[in-house]
Structure 1
Amino acid sequence: MSVGVMMPEPFDIYSRSIDADPFPGYKRLRDEHPCYWSKTAGVWILSRYEDVFAAAQDWQTFSSLSGNLVDEIPGRSGGTLGTTDPPHHDRLRVLAQAAFTPKAVRELVPVIEDVVSEAIAAFADREEFDFVQDFSSVVTVGSIFRLLGLPERDPKEMRRQVVLSISTDKKLRGRNSELNRAFAELTEFLAEEIVIRRAKPADDLITALAEAEVDGERLTEREVMLTTTMFVVAGVESLSSFMSIFALNIADHPEARFRIASDPSLMPAAIEESLRFNTSAQRFKRTAKREVELHGKRIAPGDTVVLAYGAANRDERKFPEPDQFDIDRNPRGHLGFGTGKHFCIGSGFARTVTRIAMESFLGTIPNFEVRHRDFDWVPSSNFRSPATLPFRRT
Structure 2
Amino acid sequence: MNHSVSNPFPWYKKMSAENPVYYDKDYMHYFGAKGAWHVFRYHDVQTVLYDWENFSSEYAPKVDNILSAAIQVTDPPRHKQLRLLVSKAFTPNVIENMKPWIQEITKELLDKVADKGEMDVTVDLAVPVPIQVIAKMLGVPYEDRDKFKFWSTIIVKNPTEVEGGVNGYFQAQQEMAQYFMNLFEERLKDPKDDLISHLQRVDLEGEKLSEQDLLAFCITLLVAGNETTTNLISAAIYTFIENPEIQEHLYQYPEVIPTAIEEILRYRAPVQYINRIATKDVELGGQTIKKGDLINAWMGSANRDASVFENPDTFDLNRTNLKHTSFGHGIHFCLGAPLARLEAKIVLELLFSQFKQLELKDTSKELEMNEINLMFSIKSLPIVFKKR
Normalised by the length of structure 1, the TM-score is 0.90
Tell me the equivalent position of 2:285. 295
8 Å contact kept, 2:12–2:301: yes
CA distance in 2, matches of 1:34, 1:333: 20
CA distance in 1, matches of 2:219, 2:146: 18
Q: Which runs of 5+ in 1 are unaligned?
A: 1-11
Deviation per CA, 1:165-210: give whole Å up to 9, x if none: 21125669x9632233223222221222122111111111111122
Matched, 1:390 2:376: no
The equivalent residue for 1:58 is 51
CA distance in 1, matches of 2:122, 2:93: 28
- CA shift, 1:144, in A, is 1.3
State whether residues 370 and 389 of structure 1, in contact with CA within 8 Å, keep that contact through their aligned partners in structure 2.
yes
Q: In the aligned structure 2, how far is the partner of 1:367 from the partner of 1:304? A: 45
Conservation of the 8 A alpha-carbon contact between 2:368 and 2:378 = yes
Q: Please give the alpha-carbon distance, in whole angstroms, between the structure 2 residues aligned to 1:387 and 1:186.
A: 23
Give the one of 197, 210, 226 matched to 1:220.
Answer: 210
What is the aligned-residue RMSD (CA, Å)?
2.1
The corresponding residue for 1:46 is 39
Amino acid at match of 1:55: V
2:372 aligned residue: 380
Shift of 1:268: 0.5
Name the counterpart of 1:4.
none
What's 2:345 paired with?
Answer: 355
Structure 1 CA distance, aligned partners of 2:242 and 2:167?
37
- Contact map agreement 1:375 1:386 (CA 8 A) in 2: yes
Question: 1:328 is matched with which residue?
Answer: 318
Pick one of 248, 259, 266 that aligns with 2:256.
266
2:172 pairs, out of 182, 203, 225, with 182
Q: CA deviation at 1:258?
A: 1.9
Please say if residues 167 and 175 of structure 1, whose CA atoms lie closer than 8 Å, have aligned partners that are also in contact. no
Larger displacement relative to structure 2 (98-107 or 306-315): 98-107
1:30 to 16, 19, 32: 16
- The aligned residue for residue 138 of structure 2 is 148
* Distance of 1:281 and 1:367 partners within structure 2: 28
Unaligned runs of 5+ in 2: 28-34
Q: Once the 2 structures are TM-superposed, how far is the Cα of residue 355 of structure 1 from its aligned partner?
A: 0.6
TM-score (norm: length of structure 2): 0.92
- Secondary structure in structure 2 of the residue aligned to 1:40: strand
Which amino acid in 1 is paired with 2:225?
A: G
Number of the residue aligned with 1:5: none
Stretch deviating more after TM superposition (379-388 or 33-42): 379-388
1:84, 1:167 → 2: CA distance?
Answer: 21
Paired residues in the alignment total: 376
Residue identity matched to 1:27: K
Written as runs of structure 1 = structure 2, the 5 A alignment for 1:1-394 is 12=1, 17-41=3-27, 42-67=35-60, 75-153=65-143, 155=145, 158-168=148-158, 176-372=166-362, 373-393=365-385
Change (3 A) 1:303 1:205: same
Q: Which runs of 4+ in 1 moved over 4 A?
A: 71-74, 154-157, 169-172
Structure 2 residue matching 1:153: 3-state secondary structure: helix
8 Å contact 2:135–2:145 — kept in the other structure?
Answer: no
Q: 1:299-322, CA deviations, whole angstroms, 9 ceiling, x for partnerless residues?
A: 100000110000000001111111
Rounded to whole Å, the distance in 1 between the matches of 2:89 and 2:322 is: 28
CA deviations over 1:211-255 (Å, ceiling 9, x no partner) = 122221221110011101111112221111111111111111112
Answer yes or no: is the 8 Å Cα contact 1:166–1:179 preserved in 2: no
Contact 1:269–1:330 under 8 Å retained in 2: no
- Aligned pair in 2 of structure 1 residues 64, 223: CA closer, same or farther (>3 Å)? same
Q: Separation in 1 of the partners of 2:9 and 2:160?
A: 19
